[in-house]
Structure 1
């Protein structure tokens, strides 16, 4: 399998090193030539000197033959733009790193479903460790064809959970409303601005993305 990284920070290096040990192909896109020169001695992978938020640069990595594009620079805006460019070029999967949680709803509204916030993930894990818990990542619980999908509710989505128009084999599993976590039933209300999390079959993801991308002209 092949992975392309935009940005050559510590998270990229650690992830790339693990992938290389497992026999995968890695390409790192970085605009700082001196950073590429330094890493060239550490990592046996491909490097591309350029701005990963520009289509002409990302196109050189051969998107259609790449499995995952990781946008992991130190700038949230750059990661979001690179992710949108990557999606438009045909990368099958795009992972977007953001440090500021304020950008999370924007990523959801833009359809960037694989958004990660490392500081929040690590902070939650450390807090669980402090209390003696052994947390199980949600992603390990979704097996076979099961997938999670989330969206920010619009005014036209307001109403009861039972009235939400979703494909078959799709259920609302939780709602985030401001600082409140809600485990809903069919009569629970959905309000504009809620982050709604669904569990669905993998084959439904495209239809769900189209349904909640209409608001931004996709």
Structure 2
């Protein structure tokens, strides 16, 4: 069983919380409006904290040391990023901020907020694929078991050929974004500072790589 905390109580939060509760996980929802808490407490068998989810004191009440993931799923990208940074500084093992604007996803990567999500864009891309008559595959259906995908922003020290990144045999570069354009890596591809590099690796290796590059 895992313990998760959510900031806010919009439809995305409630949908995710419902699924986690069904799986037997412990859920805590941080909500600034007491009337909303009273309403939700009749529908959800979970914990509630009354307060502003960007307040360090309120986030401490969520017990960072005992919580596996802090989900920041408010409508404002800036608020989610701020809450994620505060949550990380307080010791939450993992923070997941929601962003809607692609430029903020890149900023999240640069700040080391490794697990930012863009649900609006994901749904939009899925709808476009439906209209094109294409079959969309959810990432979770093809990346499973011991596999993990992560990304990071390349610094000056790591610029150069891919095979000089020192990834050994436990990780592979599967793609990169340069100037917002996606590229498939070529043999001896030379990486540039500022490139967003996408890796696939083993889950037990992912944490070491996040520590090396500060997340992604």
Same fold per TM (> 0.5)?
yes
Tell me how far 1:211 sits from its aligned partner.
2.2
Tell me how far 1:191 sits from its aligned partner.
1.6
> Does the alignment pair 1:64 with 2:65?
yes
Query: Which residue is 2:6 aligned to?
Result: 5
> Does the alignment pair 1:21 with 2:22?
yes
Aligned length: 214
> Does the alignment pair 1:113 with 2:114?
yes
Cα 1:117–1:25 change in 2 (3 A) is same
CA distance in 1 between counterparts of 2:179 and 2:140 reads 23
SS of equivalent residue, structure 1 residue 115: coil
SS of equivalent residue, structure 1 residue 20: helix
Query: Which residue is 2:208 aligned to?
Result: 207
Q: Any idea what the Cα deviations from partners look like across 1:179-206, whole Å, max 9, x if unmatched?
A: 4221112311212221100112222223
CA distance in 2 between counterparts of 1:193 and 1:165 reads 18
SS of equivalent residue, structure 1 residue 114: coil
CA distance in 1 between counterparts of 2:25 and 2:210 reads 29
Give matches, 1:8-157, under 5 Å.
8-157=9-158
Q: 1:167, 1:204 within 8 Å by CA — same for their partners in 2?
A: no
Q: TM-score, normalised by structure 2?
A: 0.89
Q: Any idea what the Cα deviations from partners look like across 1:15-60, whole Å, max 9, x if unmatched?
A: 1122223333211001122322332333232111111122221121
CA distance in 2 between counterparts of 1:150 and 1:139 reads 16
SS of equivalent residue, structure 2 residue 5: strand
Cα 1:59–1:167 change in 2 (3 A) is farther
SS of equivalent residue, structure 1 residue 113: coil
Select between 26-35 and 61-70 the one with higher mean Cα deviation: 61-70
Select between 152-161 and 120-129 the one with higher mean Cα deviation: 152-161
Q: 1:4, 1:27 within 8 Å by CA — same for their partners in 2?
A: yes
Q: TM-score, normalised by structure 1?
A: 0.88
RMSD (Å) for aligned C-alpha atoms: 2.0
SS of equivalent residue, structure 1 residue 125: helix
Structure 1 residues without counterparts, runs of 5 or longer: none
Q: Any idea what the Cα deviations from partners look like across 1:78-131, whole Å, max 9, x if unmatched?
A: 211221222233323221101221111111112212111111100001111112
CA distance in 2 between counterparts of 1:207 and 1:25 reads 27
**Runs of 4+ displaced beyond 4 Å:** none
Q: 1:146, 1:200 within 8 Å by CA — same for their partners in 2?
A: yes
